[in-house]
Structure 1
Amino acid sequence: AEQALTDQSKTGGPRISFACGVWHDRTMPIRPAYRDAAESFKAVARAVNFRQKPEEATEEINAWVSASTDGLIPSILSRGALSDLTDLVLANAIYFKGKWAKPFAGYLTQHDKFHRLDGTAVDAPFMRGLGSHNIACHDGFKVLQLRYEEGHGPLLPQPPALAPTPVPIYSMCVFLPDARRGLWRLTDKIACNPDFLRKHLPRNSVLVGDFRLPKFKVTFGMTMNDVLQEMGVKEAFELGKADLSNMVENGGRRKMALEKVIHMAVIEVNEEGTEAAAATYMTRLGCTPDSRPPAPCVDFVADHPFAFFIVEEVSGAILFAGHVLDPTIK
């Protein structure tokens, strides 16, 4: 996981910015053992003045997130999100941007209709592909796998006695239902089987006929309290029942409760690297005709809601999981 979340941009791979932190009120200092545990998960633990200056604490947390993501995520907490009753805040932010290994040509991008779940349609810019792509056709859905440009070597220190760590390989996997309103049925299948994604990825490339994928940018942020409580993490949020006192020195003056768990993610998909694409396509001209019958083409037209995943293939880590209901909404 550490290798998967390491920025690869200096070696020609994707740009990855990751930030995770734990903030506690300064009247409740965290035990060194917990601080060390947080750092082992690439998180930092810091003390702030929730009691007397919650707004100042908000600005401090936002400034740290902005610095950790090079300004790509300028803030994660809204004004008034914290109060003088806050004991503890967990925050997580991740940004990913990579160049396609096989870029799209910008001059091929055209507006077309994207059909939303409510039956209406919007005009959206669609990238169009030529040649072959990694596509798998299954009963009721198709899967597209788009590789990102790889880095040229490991960024983490390599112990001399061990074999070199494989270079991370990142790809975006698009799960497109055949039916325009089939997204939720497909995502239910994915959620019910932890191996569903891996088992349905493409195994080879196929020639494409009509290939359209909308450009989109997703900025997602939410408080995860309700989600975690639905998963069974309930008492940690309840004053009087929660007991996180083992995190702090001397057990604290009172039982600690978890106030907020906040998550924010940003991802954008476009034709980046289009100049290289034009040169690549030009190399196909002037080939000797093949007397064999042409292989059947596969259409992949993502003109209705679909799910997508950003995956690091070596470790199997999923950096992003989301869906696009309307590519025109940021």
Structure 2
Amino acid sequence: LYDKCSYTSHDRGWVLGIEALSDQGTRDPRYYFTLRTDRARKATTITAHRSYLPNQWVHLAVTYNGRIIKLYINGAQAATSSEQVGPIFSPLTQNCKVLMIGGNALNQNYRGYLEQFSLWKTPRSQEKIVHDMGQAVHGLSNSLPQLVLQNSFENVKRAWTPMKNGKFPQIENIYHHGSSLDTILDLPQCGQTLCDNLEVITNYNKFTSFRRPKVVRYRVVNIYDDNHENPTVTKDQIELQHQKLNEAFSKYNITWELDLLEKNDSFLRHRLILTNCDITKIGDGMCEPECNHALTGFDGGDCRHIIPSVALKKKQNGVCDMDCNIESFHFDGGDCCNPNVTDVTKTCFDPQSPH
């Protein structure tokens, strides 16, 4: 849509199309929208986040409220700009507007399929744009007061005037299903997920229709003694955590489903468990951060570069001294793995010990 009365500039108005961002021919073609209002000195162009994929139906929508331009691809906001301000055309140029489909004033033409075109008086919200997508697939919507133009090109010769060689576009009947309208995002970087994309998660939080009900199932394993006493955590603690999880995630339509597994095992109940610290890592000659703890003798001494000289006097003195509970001291000469001396479930880190 441009101003045909402006002889000094051909970019007053707006253009929606596909153009290559690369200087090397047609590489990296993307959907774009260009706008230059009547008061602006230059045009503003916003582009999609990725190259377009050929041979796929796409729903494109653009809104402008006098301050912000937004480009939507298949209902998802893909680009925005606030560089343009005010009405697109002044009242003096009301009769100078020309709407062109399939090309522009610079004789740049579009080769492809177009199913439907709609022009509105007021900017559409994202929720309404998604609704329009369904209408585009299942049929035209009813006449609305804010709808300026809606055309499915069923009768091109009656509604449009050819601008190039006097030829009209060719009409073809092509069936496509609405499920093909899908936004494809770039693959996340290594170590990240789609939820690490700030733009994606921000729109997910704002756009309630994305929040379809979801159920997250999780399991809590609670260890008891052999007589089913002394649990790791009480049932009240588990129920309170479950309640808080559902309260925190309910606004996102996420429900947590608890699966509680209770196991009687006194041996396992009284074992020292450090996350990711396998017993084979202790004293293996390498300092493992996950095992660097006083209860492991600082990874069996691997994370202690200086051994206090006083520790030599404590070795194998009938008491488990943690300063000596390292591989180079044979885990305090065996005192820290002797059930007659100490609670071996908490002090024995010797991989060769039966305890």
Give the TM-score, by structure 1 length.
0.18
Higher relative contact order (CA 8 A, sep 6+): 1
User: Over alpha carbons, which structure has the higher Rg?
Assistant: 2
Give the TM-score, by structure 2 length.
0.17
Q: Which is richer in strand?
A: 1
